[in-house]
Amino acid sequence: MGYLKRAQEFFGEVLAEFRKVTWPNRQELTNSTVVVITVTVVVAFFLGGVDIVLARIVERILR
């Protein structure tokens, strides 16, 4: 029975914390999503470019 009581208390505390959260509205969520996708694409292109450059450098060294 102790396990069920502790689980019930845990989930009650989780719900209490969820009520304290300030959830973003649709506009804030959309803006944040656009920023995350944009930064991800920019970093992917940067890392891809660095990878290509380093691969060519290593290829020339090994020749």
Residue-wise pLDDT for 5-58, tens only, equals 999 999 999 999 999 999 999 999 999 999 999 999 999 999 999 999 999 999
Domains of the chain, by residue range, sit at 24-63
Q: What is the dihedral of CA 38, 44, 47, 49, to 10 degrees?
A: -90
Quick one: how far is CA 17 from the chain centroid?
21
Does residue 2 have a pLDDT over 90? no
Predicted pLDDT of residue 51: 98
Whole-structure pTM value = 0.66
